[in-house]
């Protein structure tokens, strides 16, 4: 039956969230209804508020969470009420080209591909004041209950603390995987990380886990440097401290540029700088931050002609259903920490 609960509804861009009573419909075939126990806030949620990421309104945001299965729809065999789970904003259907490829992880059943804000069948499970409310990235976690497709949820260790492992639903996995899965950072290599928010710090952790010998953290907020060093950064630099462009500073610091660079902000100027600061022949630069809507990037093609690689990374390159339970297990086995990312 329908559940009435509280949710943070965003009625329009650039307005505050409104705590409302919403109705959450029961799960349909191959859907799961989840009681959300903990949710993180990711910059991508804020990008919707500011209009940098375009979505239909009204909407329930949130995509980084942990919870417990409340009920399941017809045909669901892999979940039962009471299972502890993490919703997946990048689903894994197991049937599309990306899912079947060893190289890809961006399932074509993701919400960006479906057309934004609805369940795979083209309808919504949320209503408020008689109005249909859109879903966000197939997850919508700023609510006490949500409904997701069976392909967009992973069962995790029942002992895992939800207020910590919710970060594995986006921020941590995205950054950590960008280093380990997308860039495939090697032992002894040099890395530069632009942006030291939760995802950027997770990139630092991934570079360290991969055995990078030098990890240069770049941010215009020097208050973030102590935490970056605690998590593995060897150098911290503030572009505001230099007269010359930051990519030139990094090339001077490293001789010929870094082996791997990561843009973890979502700005075109820092994406261009990250590309330019990596080694001219075999450097790899990874875009991790969500690019702003309707902005184009201009760069000298010679930067790529000499051999550099420019890559993007969604959810750290992890195949979500397969990897999230393993990452939770790694956290439980103390292979990495999450506490420093929680403020």
**What's the average model confidence in pLDDT over 25-43?**
96
pLDDT at 270: 96
- Catalytic residue list contains 44: yes
Whether residue 42 lies in the annotated active site:
yes
Q: Which of 93, 99, 107, 170 is catalytic?
A: 170
| pLDDT (0 to 100) of residue 112 | 67
pLDDT, residue 219, reads 98
Q: Which fold has domain 183-312?
A: Rossmann fold (3.40.50)
Report how far residue 257's alpha carbon sits from residue 279's, in angstroms, rounded to the nearest whole number: 4
Confidence at residue 86, expressed as pLDDT on a 0 to 100 scale: 98
9-13, 107-111, 142-146, 310-314: which has the minimum mean pLDDT?
Answer: 107-111
d(CA 287, CA 257) in angstroms, rounded, equals 17
63 in active site = yes
- 89-95 average pLDDT score: 95
Residue 115 above 70 pLDDT? no
pLDDT above 90 as % of the chain: 91
Mean confidence (pLDDT) of the chain: 95
Q: Looking at residues 136-162, what average pLDDT do you find?
A: 97
One DSSP character per residue, 79-121 reads --TT-EEEE-SS---SSSHHHHSSS----TTSHHHHTSSS-TT
Residue pair 10/48 in contact by the 8 Å Cβ criterion: yes
For the chain, what percent of residues have pLDDT higher than 70?
99
- The catalytically annotated residue of 63, 134, 135, 247 is 63
pLDDT at 53: 85
Listed by start position, the domains of the chain span: 3-171+318-341, 183-312
User: In this predicted model, what pLDDT tens digit does every residue of 203-224 receive, in sequence order?
Assistant: 999 999 999 999 999 999 999 9
Instruction: Write out pLDDT tens, residues 228-261.
Output: 999 999 999 999 999 999 999 999 999 999 999 9
Give dist(CA 136, CA 276) in Å, integer. Answer: 34
Q: Tell whether the model's pLDDT for residue 21 goes beyond 60.
A: yes
- Does the pTM surpass 0.85? The reply is yes
Residue 328 has pLDDT above 90, yes or no: yes
User: pLDDT at position 146, please?
Assistant: 98
Q: What angle do CA 185, 203, 303 make, to 5 degrees?
A: 60
Task: Write out pLDDT tens, residues 148-160.
Answer: 999 999 999 999 9
Band of the pLDDT at 111, cuts 50, 70, 90?
A: confident
- Host H or E run for residue 24: strand 18-24
- The CATH class given to the 3-171+318-341 domain equals alpha beta
Residue 170 known to be catalytic: yes
Catalytic residue among 30, 44, 135, 140: 44
H or E element that contains 176: helix 171-177
pLDDT at 110: 82
192 contacts 216 by C-beta, under 8 angstroms: yes
Phi and psi torsions of 213, nearest 5°: -90, -25
List the catalytic residue out of 47, 134, 135, 247.
Answer: 47
Q: Mind listing the pLDDT tens digit for each residue in 55-87?
A: 999 999 999 999 999 999 999 999 999 999 999
At 294, is the pLDDT very low, low, confident or very high (cuts 50, 70, 90)? confident
């Amino acid at each position: 039956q329908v559940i009435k609960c509280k949710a943070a509804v965003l009625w329009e861009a650039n307005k505050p969230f409104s705590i409302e009573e919403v109705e959450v419909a029961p799960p349909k075939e191959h859907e799961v209804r989840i009681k959300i126990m903990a949710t993180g806030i990711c910059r991508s949620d804020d990008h919707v508020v500011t209009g940098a990421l375009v979505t239909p309104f009204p909407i329930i945001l949130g995509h980084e969470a942990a919870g417990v299965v409340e009920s399941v729809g017809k045909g669901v065999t892999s979940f039962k009420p009471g299972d502890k789970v993490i919703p997946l904003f990048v689903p894994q259907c197991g049937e599309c080209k990306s899912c079947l490829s060893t190289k890809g992880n961006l399932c074509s059943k993701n919400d960006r591909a479906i057309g934004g804000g609805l369940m795979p069948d083209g309808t919504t499970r949320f209503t408020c004041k008689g109005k249909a409310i859109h879903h966000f990235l197939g997850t919508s976690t700023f609510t006490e209950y949500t409904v997701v497709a069976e392909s967009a949820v992973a069962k995790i260790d029942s002992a895992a603390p939800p207020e910590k492992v919710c970060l594995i639903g986006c921020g941590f996995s995205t950054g950590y995987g960008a280093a380990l899965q997308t860039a495939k950072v090697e032992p002894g290599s040099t890395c530069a990380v632009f942006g030291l928010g939760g995802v950027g710090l997770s990139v630092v952790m991934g570079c360290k886990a991969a055995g990078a010998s030098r990890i240069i953290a770049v941010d215009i907020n020097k208050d973030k440097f102590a935490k970056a060093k605690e998590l593995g950064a060897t150098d911290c630099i503030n572009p505001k401290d230099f007269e010359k462009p930051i990519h030139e500073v990094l090339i001077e610091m490293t001789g010929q540029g870094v082996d791997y660079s990561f843009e973890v902000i979502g700005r075109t100027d820092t994406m261009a700088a990250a590309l330019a600061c990596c080694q001219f022949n075999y450097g790899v630069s990874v875009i991790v931050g969500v690019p702003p809507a309707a902005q184009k990037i201009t760069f000298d093609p010679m930067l790529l002609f000499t051999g550099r690689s420019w890559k993007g990374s969604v959810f750290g390159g992890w195949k979500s259903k397969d990897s999230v339970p393993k990452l939770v297990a790694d956290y439980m086995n103390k292979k990495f920490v999450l506490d420093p990312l929680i403020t």
